[in-house]
């Protein structure tokens, strides 16, 4: 890694707290041999009650797109007609806390220029996941209301790892992996924010490695360290939990909040970015930034923080995990079809709340859908289909949505859509598959083949499903247990699809 190549404090540029060679072995508890009373922060937390509480450019360069002037008469006219984005977020259950109510008034005050709002994404993987989607959605709401959205990729902080919500220190990533992850995340943000239908809105993508790579340890201690109070840092919830754990916390992780705080200071001072947003677990890191800005620049409430609730299911568990792992936003890691299916499977108890938080449908339109669910004759999963369509379109675009719908329809048992091998190949990555020689497929009993392919554990289970009317081959129901596979059943001579009910499927390839 770039930061762990030796240390010469006064002469060599080094991000001090990212050097695991120096700091990781140090445990915070062993450095603190005294108790310090936590000082209060300047910004008080405004807890917002919400009704859904269960509710190939150079890699390290920045991307800037159509930055607007903030002083022209045209800008002031736009400000006069701006919807209040904080009110919108609150109505939709997307607001947890804000550092000051002045942020709410600044959102629509015609005398205040459009805000510049950023959300940070550390490159811990090659793709963002569903947990990151709320941050992009909130950024998009600011965009749609006339403000500028900024995506900050943590090329520097990703080398440290945010301890918030983590019981163990994140594994260290090598430089090649980090670069690959940064490129993947940048591509996703550009695709989503760049396709926002808002006219006149703009966005930026920055990388904090750009300003951290030349920071020396002495510079950091002088610029940031002397303004940091240890008691305040220890009072952060993410720090307290880790210090109480058996694993404890390294000095590297302990100082993560100072890196994020300095990011906000740098962005505020050099880019005019005045709002940082994040999930509710980021409150401590965000207020560390607003405090640092106040102390160093001597400003009064010029920088704001806003948090949104974490994405949870009705039972309080995290939404965004499947049996196969995380729900990724990159189509190379999770196909649009599989992404669509995840939202299609949302239970009724969660679907209306997710329509409010994850889509841009009007609340009136959502209320109509909610009322339909309780009326006689309502077709099950109609609202889930709408949720799946809206979120898939936002993340994967119209082409991705078309691909997902086509695959969904083609794989629906009894569907009239004729399967072709190109379509089967596209969806084969998302469902189980096996390869069998032609002599074990053509002429074989459909019951025997279903067991050989792994669709059923036994022939008796296959016969039971067949009698219940839930056995399909290439989406056509099989009614005869003596049915044998014929040459015309093999799609283009390359394979076929067997289904048990709506969800269990297997692709049989001819090897």
Cα 252 from Cα 452, distance rounded (Å): 53
Please provide the average confidence, as pLDDT, over all residues in the chain.
81
| The pLDDT value given to residue 58 | 39
Reading phi first (left if > 0) and then psi (alpha if -120 to 50, else beta), residue 316 is in left
Query: What is the rounded CA–CA span in Å between residue 72 and residue 452?
Result: 71
Using one digit for the tens of pLDDT, what is the confidence trace for 260-281? 999 999 999 999 999 999 999 8
Say whether pLDDT at 18 is over 50: no
Contact in structure between 303 and 268 (CB atoms under 8 Å) = yes
- The pLDDT of 182-199, averaged and rounded, is 84
Number of other CB atoms surrounding residue 376 within 10 Å: 4
pLDDT class for 162, splitting at 50, 70, 90? low
Distance, CA of 125 to chain centre:
11
State the angle between helix axes of 336-344 and 382-410 in degrees (0 to 180), rounded to the nearest 10: 140
Tens of pLDDT, residues 427-471: 777 778 888 888 888 888 888 888 888 888 888 888 888 888 888
Q: What is the pLDDT of residues 216-241, one digit of tens each?
A: 989 989 888 888 888 888 887 778 88
In this predicted structure, the answer to whether residue 17 has a pLDDT above a threshold of 50 is no
Q: What's the Cα-to-Cα distance from 221 to each of 16, 17, 224, 319, 463, rounded to whole Å? A: 9, 10, 6, 40, 73
What tokens appear for 302 in the block? Answer: 């010029």
- Distance CA(430)–CA(341), nearest Å, equals 10
Q: Which two tokens stand for residue 413?
A: 């048992």
Cβ density class 470-488: b for 16+ within 10 Å, e for less: bbbbbbeebeeeebebeee
Structure tokens at 112: 């205040």
pLDDT in tens, 21-78: 445 555 555 555 444 444 444 445 666 554 433 333 333 445 544 433 344 455 545 5
Alpha helices in 63-165 (DSSP H): 73-80, 85-91, 102-108, 130-144
**Residue with the two structure tokens 């790892």:** 161
Residue for token pair 């401590």:
284
Lowest mean pLDDT across 30-34, 90-94, 309-313: 30-34
pLDDT tops 60 at residue 339: yes
Predicted local confidence at residue 414, as pLDDT: 62
Asked if 82 and 107 touch (Cβ cutoff 8 Å), the reply is yes
Per DSSP, what are the bridge partners of residue 116?
148
**What distance in Å separates the CA atoms of residue 426 and residue 307, rounded to the nearest whole number?**
38
Task: Tell whether the model's pLDDT for residue 152 goes beyond 60.
Answer: yes
User: What per-residue string of b and e applies to 406-433 under the rule 16 or more CB within 10 Å gives b?
Assistant: bbbebbebeeeeebebebbebbbebbeb
Q: Which two tokens stand for residue 239?
A: 């720090």
Instruction: Considering only residues 47 and 368, tell me which one the structure prediction assigns the higher pLDDT.
Output: 368
Percent of all residues in the chain with a pLDDT value above 70, rounded to a whole number: 79
pLDDT at 41: 44
Specify whether the CB–CB gap between 396 and 428 falls below 8 A: no
pLDDT in the model for residue 391? 97
Cβ neighbours around 211 below 10 Å, total? 15
The reported pLDDT for the residue numbered 409 is 79
Q: What is the mean pLDDT of residues 154-163?
A: 80
Kindly state the tokens that stand for 250: 């390294």
The answer to which of 155-169, 234-248, 252-266, 496-510 has the lowest mean pLDDT is 155-169
């Amino acid at each position: 890694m770039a930061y762990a190549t030796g240390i010469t404090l006064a002469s060599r540029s080094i991000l001090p707290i990212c050097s695991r060679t120096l700091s990781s072995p140090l445990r915070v508890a062993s450095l603190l041999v005294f108790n310090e009373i936590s000082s209060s922060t300047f910004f008080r937390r405004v807890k917002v009650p919400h009704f859904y509480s269960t509710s190939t450019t150079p890699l390290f360069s920045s991307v800037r797109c159509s930055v607007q002037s903030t002083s022209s008469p045209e800008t002031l006219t736009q400000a006069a007609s701006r919807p209040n984005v904080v009110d919108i977020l609150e109505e939709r259950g997307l607001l947890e806390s804000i550092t000051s109510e002045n942020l709410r008034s600044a959102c629509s005050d015609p005398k205040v220029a459009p805000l510049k709002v950023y959300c940070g994404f550390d490159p811990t993987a090659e793709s963002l996941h569903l947990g990151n989607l709320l941050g992009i959605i909130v950024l998009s709401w600011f965009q749609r209301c006339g403000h500028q959205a900024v995506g900050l990729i943590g090329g520097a902080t990703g080398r440290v790892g945010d301890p918030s919500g983590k019981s163990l220190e994140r594994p260290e990533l090598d430089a090649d992996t980090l670069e690959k992850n940064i490129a993947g995340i940048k591509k996703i943000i550009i695709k989503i924010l760049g396709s926002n239908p808002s006219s006149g809105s703009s966005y930026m993508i920055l990388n904090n490695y750009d300003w951290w790579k030349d920071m020396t340890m002495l510079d950091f201690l002088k610029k940031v360290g002397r303004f940091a109070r240890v008691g305040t840092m220890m009072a952060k919830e993410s720090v307290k939990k880790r210090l109480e754990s058996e694993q404890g916390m390294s000095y590297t992780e302990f100082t993560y909040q100072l890196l994020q705080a300095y990011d906000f200071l740098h962005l505020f001072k050099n880019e005019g970015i005045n709002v940082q947003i994040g999930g509710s677990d980021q409150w401590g890191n965000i207020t560390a930034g607003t405090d640092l800005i106040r102390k160093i620049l001597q400003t009064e409430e010029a920088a704001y923080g806003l948090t949104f609730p974490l994405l949870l299911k009705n039972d309080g568990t995290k939404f965004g995990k499947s049996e196969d792992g995380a729900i990724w936003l990159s189509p190379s890691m999770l196909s649009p079809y599989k992404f669509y299916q995840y939202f299609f499977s949302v239970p009724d108890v969660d679907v209306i709340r997710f329509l409010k938080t994850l889509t841009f449908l009007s609340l009136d339109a959502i209320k109509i859908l909610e009322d339909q669910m309780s009326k006689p004759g309502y077709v099950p999963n109609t609202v889930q289909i709408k949720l799946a369509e809206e979120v898939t379109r936002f993340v994967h675009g119209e082409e991705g949505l078309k691909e997902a719908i086509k695959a969904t329809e083609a794989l629906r048992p009894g569907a009239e859509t004729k399967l072709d091998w190109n379509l089967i190949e596209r969806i084969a990555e998302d469902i189980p598959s096996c390869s069998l020689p032609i002599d074990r497929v053509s002429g074989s009993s459909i019951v025997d083949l279903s067991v050989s392919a792994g669709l059923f554990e036994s022939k008796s289970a296959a016969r039971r499903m067949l009698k219940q009317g839930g056995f399909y081959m290439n989406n056509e129901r099989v009614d005869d247990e003596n049915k044998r596979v014929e040459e015309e059943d093999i799609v283009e001579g390359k394979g076929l699809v067997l289904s048990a009910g709506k969800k269990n499927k297997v692709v049989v390839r001819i090897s």
